[in-house]
Amino acid sequence: MAAKIRSRTRALFEKAFPERQIYHRSGGSVTFVKISPWRQAAMAAAGTIVIAWCLFATVAVLLRTPSAGGADGKDGRIARYERELAKARANEAIALSLLEQRTTSFKSDLEQLEDRHETIKKLLAHMQGGGGGGSAPLVGDGRQILVDSSIDEADERQSRPSETVSKVNDKAGFRAKFDAVRNDQTAFLDIAEEEAVERAEHYRGVLRQTGAPVTKIIENLEMGGPLIELPPLSGDGDAGVALDDGFTQRAREVVERL
């Protein structure tokens, strides 16, 4: 039985790898090459091993690449997210800094407007308290003083022109509103200055009608009655510490003229 199996196996081996004889003719000579079945089997086994190894390596690479690529892709996404987060934090810091700067500027402008508004309120109260109610007999239809002025007394008095800003204000939002409020306050101060000039001329005419020497009366200041102190025209009660020195100084001059 064993001999039969061996003989059958040998027959199959010889059938699969028969003896090969290769003849090669070159230059009138014939070369004979003989390949035995065992050599053919060894070559077939070596080829099979090489092919099997290539298949194994290919499968291993294919199975390992997705996981490695997934890890690399995950690391790349994490790095990209970290860069985007750092960029967002930088933008947030810039926005917060700009917001703080705008808030500081807003508070400064608001305090300045409040100071100017308080000055205007005090100036208006002082003007309302010093009206010329007892001068009706000395005025005509146009409420102008009926006096005979001489040429040497015709010194020109007028309110100073307001410092208007002629440049185009391209700022939107609350800045434009602040500028509009400032312009309104400056316009009111111009009107107050004109009113102060008119009142000064009015009482000058009254004194002139009485025949009293105006220059002598003006020289004798702080006489003839109780001392009436001028109210401080700044928001914090100190005329020297104001958010808008020019505006406050003009208001003080108006009050002093009144």
Exposed/middle/buried for residue 106 (C-beta within 10 Å: 0-12, 13-18, 19+): middle
For residue 223, what pLDDT is reported?
59
- Considering 100-109, 198-207, 214-223, 242-251, the range whose residues carry the highest mean pLDDT is 100-109
Q: Residues with Cβ < 8 Å from 230, sequence gap 6 or more?
A: 126, 252, 255, 256
- pLDDT at 160 > cutoff 60: no
206 sits in which H/E element: helix 174-210
Domain extent listing, the chain: 14-89, 94-257
For residue 81, what pLDDT is reported?
92
- Measured CA to CA, the distance from residue 84 to residue 76 in angstroms comes to 12
- Considering 134-138, 162-166, 236-240, the range whose residues carry the highest mean pLDDT is 162-166
- Give the pair of three-digit tokens for residue 30: 């014939």
- Measured CA to CA, the distance from residue 30 to residue 33 in angstroms comes to 10
DSSP classification of residue 243: S
Lowest mean pLDDT among 109-118, 146-155, 176-185: 146-155
Which residues on adjacent β-strands are paired with residue 21?
A: 34
- Measured CA to CA, the distance from residue 68 to residue 74 in angstroms comes to 10
For residue 93, what pLDDT is reported?
94
Contacts 24+ apart (CB under 8 A), 67-72: none
Residue closest to 237 by CA, chosen among 127, 115, 104, 56: 115
Give the pTM.
Answer: 0.37
pLDDT tens digits, 80-111: 999 999 999 999 999 999 999 988 988 888 88
Q: Which pLDDT band, with edges at 50, 70 and 90, does 227 fall under?
A: low
- Give the pair of three-digit tokens for residue 213: 């020497």
- Measured CA to CA, the distance from residue 175 to residue 109 in angstroms comes to 9
- pLDDT at 122 > cutoff 80: no
